[in-house]
Structure 1
Amino acid sequence: MKSTLHRLLVLVLAIVTCVAGLPVSPASATPAVRNTNPIAERRADPHIFKHTDGFYYFTATVPEYDRIILRRATTIQGLATAAETVIWRKHASGEMGAHIWAPEIHFINGKWYVYFAAGRSNDVWRIRMYVLESSSANPVTATWTERGRITTPWDTFSLDASTFVHNGVRYLTWAQKEPGIDTGSNLYVARMGASPWSITGQVTRLTVPTLAWETRGHKVAEGPTVLQRNGRLFLTYSASATDANYCLGMLTASASADPLNAASWTKSPNPVFASNAATSQYGPGHNSFTVSEDGQSDIMVYHDRNYRDINGDPLNDPNRRTRVQKVYYKADGTPDFGIPVADGATPVRLKSYNTERFVRHWEYRARLEANVAPLADSQFKMVTGLAGSGTVSFESTNFPGYYLRHRNNDLWVERTDGSALFRNDAAFTQRAGLASSSALSFESLNFPGRYIRHSNGLVYLQAVTDAQGRADATFVLE
């Protein structure tokens, strides 16, 4: 009833606005999510959990593989400088004595739980899954109890336990080497048992790495995590060796399907997130999901390196870093992760105030389109203006060093030539939106009175003289 009333009120408002001769703004856009990468150096397999107490809790693998750490902050960016506490250390010998990997922190039935993998001191590759528990309100200062190992049907290499609730049922998903299958690990799912460290009933094999991009260096599917949106379950996972070949795959199931039925899941034929030489990001993987501070945007958390070549075993290279970026969605409701963006400020999209379209480049010409593919064509790093402070410039995400600039009143994405003319052409003064103070407009630095404006699907630099022009020259940052 409330939803119906809300829609009627919005419709009435739109009609009144049209009668008044003012531009109609579409539904409120999701505000821009802007962070600075990396969030944490030398922290791999990251997991960020937003709790009801207003804090984000962050844990990850440390390169020494000997302890579990935890940070907390009220913002995602705040985790970068938050104090780090060691909440548990490996055993001096025996079980849980080596290779402490991939911790995840969850709040279940009023208690905190950390899932992690560990080997033995006398057999570091005898990796199994374990759980810590605490009833303290603050897990950073908590005392933790070891609840032991998660038992699965096979006593084999197993790791990367993660948990999710769907239709009121809690599930565990993980990676394991199954006897008789020639892979490093496959993905599995089962219902959780009576305790958060047990499973019960049917165990389902979700996928086996068989595709070329899943088997580079090693035949691996690991690091499963679930995102639930738009009437579907999206399970992302990591594949191949942990060097530049590492990448993310995805399984998709309907929210109405049984997660324990392997036939419910469809594997994407290609990686959904992979290395990108243009942005100098290599081996993105082992991700998790959290939400933005306002709860309106899904945020992907993952690790990668900012160089391709590694000497020796990638597991001995300590420089995987924790990074974040916003998850966008395609017209069909499936997530679009884009590319791993360059280090520094995360990019934004310029969404038209009066249409559901975005500024994007196509053959270097700036235009306005919906459902942009590839996503990165519509993502720009908003930086201090090339002409100096007080202005902003828009650097292409997938063509670093290329900027949105005007030339003969047309907008293009071009590589900077270092000239004063280019710097001025690519610098804009950010103004309150000409059609709405809650949005933004961008005035040319060297042609005052002219604004970035769309018309007939293209983007220009033009003077604005009427209500239509004000709406066309107003944008929302997403």
Structure 2
Amino acid sequence: MQTWPNPFIEQRADPYILHHEGQYYFIASVPQYDRLEIRRADSLEGLRSADEVVVWRKPDTGPMSELIWAPELHHIDGKWYIYFAATHTQALDKLGMFQHRMFALECTDPDPLTGKWQEKGQIKSQFDTFALDATTFVHQGKRWYLWAQKAPDISGNSNLYLCEMENPWTLKGEPVMLSKPEYDWECRGFWVNEGPAVLVHNDRLFISYSASATDENYCMGLLWIDMTADPQNPANWQKSPRPVFTTSYENRQYGPGHNSFTQTPDGEDVLVYHARNYTEIEGDPLYDPNRHTRLKLVSWDKNGMPDFGIPPADTL
């Protein structure tokens, strides 16, 4: 069974790996939260030593000037897009940490590492509230946007929403809420559903997501739906009542989550996630730099459900 060095890439949280035309692209939150970097390699393993190319730095002022979080890189209709969340100094000073909004960058050049990136502005949703962790995917012939956001009328930090897209930086129609924190394991420290990621297997579409505070309580939940069902009807979605990937005290892997998925060249599904190897965090967990990127193969049970297993121990 394929395994990778653990940690795979150190001090990179919220990792996202895109497999596109035979090459692997890596993007993640950096500890300084001040820039967007992309790595590219011919293999998954090659990403560990690949050069980091800074494609965008936060401006000194404005809505994208602080705490650049959880970027994702997507190739859509021949162009490149980076989705990320950011806030600004005034919001931090006046309103506190959780004032992020969602933004998009576009690159029309063939190579996203050397091409010019253009700011497409904020992606606006139904509420002007804390919003982050956007991803996008194509399903039933439509492009969808999936993200986490605070609802004004629901207690908690963030719920998961789905909406069709008009274009890669504009939503179309009414978003629907797919999940909100309701189980104990989703409400430890903070009431959180965030970091959604999409995985398709046989006749089902799965959404993994992360829950609770970003310390050892952080863990992954799972939603799923039949491929032919209407994704805009929340009743068609099923939700696991238990977390599917959690802290392993035995393996000293704490707070696994904020995952994405990629595939090996043979088409095996790979879970890409971050976790710490200690619990003694000084100060705010968000400013502890040691959420390292890690990789693990996904296995599938006889019922066609993903089995994420237990976070493996460090090998390095």
TM-score, scaled to structure 2: 0.97
- The corresponding residue for 1:104 is 72
- Conserved? CA contact 1:160–1:175, under 8 Å: yes
C-alpha distance in 1 between matches for 2:314 and 2:112: 30
- The corresponding residue for 2:310 is 339
Deviation at 1:34, TM superposition (A): 2.9
Deviation sequence 1:90-137 (CA, Å, 0-9, x none): 111121000100000000000000000000122134210000000122
**Runs of at least 4 residues off by over 2 Å:** none
Deviation sequence 1:154-192 (CA, Å, 0-9, x none): 110000010011121110000000111111000000001
Matched, 1:139 2:112: yes
C-alpha distance in 2 between matches for 1:249 and 1:101: 21
Pairwise mapping of residues 351-370 of structure 1 onto structure 2 (< 5 A)? none
**Larger Rg computed on CA atoms:** 1
The alignment of Structure 1 onto Structure 2 pairs a total of residues equal to: 311
C-alpha distance in 2 between matches for 1:108 and 1:46: 20
- Counterpart of 2:24 (choices 38, 50, 56) is 56
Pairwise mapping of residues 415-434 of structure 1 onto structure 2 (< 5 A)? none
C-alpha distance in 2 between matches for 1:140 and 1:39: 21
- Counterpart of 2:82 (choices 91, 97, 114) is 114
Q: Percent identity?
A: 52
**Aligned partner letter, 1:97:** S
- Counterpart of 1:290 (choices 238, 246, 262) is 262
- The corresponding residue for 1:461 is none
- The corresponding residue for 1:184 is 157
- Conserved? CA contact 1:33–1:292, under 8 Å: no
- Counterpart of 1:169 (choices 124, 142, 154) is 142
- Conserved? CA contact 2:131–2:150, under 8 Å: yes
- Conserved? CA contact 1:96–1:121, under 8 Å: no
- Conserved? CA contact 2:79–2:109, under 8 Å: yes
Matched, 1:314 2:285: yes
C-alpha distance in 2 between matches for 1:61 and 1:144: 18
> Alpha carbon RMSD of aligned pairs, Å?
1.0
- The corresponding residue for 2:196 is 224
C-alpha distance in 1 between matches for 2:109 and 2:6: 31
Deviation at 1:290, TM superposition (A): 0.4
Aligned residue for 2:100, secondary structure, equals: strand
C-alpha distance in 2 between matches for 1:340 and 1:154: 36
- The corresponding residue for 1:44 is 13
Aligned residue for 1:123, secondary structure, equals: helix
Pairwise mapping of residues 324-473 of structure 1 onto structure 2 (< 5 A)? 324-344=295-315
- The corresponding residue for 1:82 is 50
C-alpha distance in 1 between matches for 2:202 and 2:23: 26
- Conserved? CA contact 1:202–1:260, under 8 Å: no
Name the structure, 1 or 2, with higher relative contact order (CA <8 Å, separation 6+): 2
Deviation sequence 1:6-52 (CA, Å, 0-9, x none): xxxxxxxxxxxxxxxxxxxxxxxxxx323212121110000000011
Deviation at 1:67, TM superposition (A): 0.6
Deviation sequence 1:340-397 (CA, Å, 0-9, x none): 111228xxxxxxxxxxxxxxxxxxxxxxxxxxxxxxxxxxxxxxxxxxxxxxxxxxxx
**Aligned partner letter, 2:123:** I
- Counterpart of 1:237 (choices 204, 209, 217) is 209
**Aligned partner letter, 2:221:** G
Aligned residue for 2:99, secondary structure, equals: strand
- The corresponding residue for 2:231 is 259
- The corresponding residue for 1:33 is 2
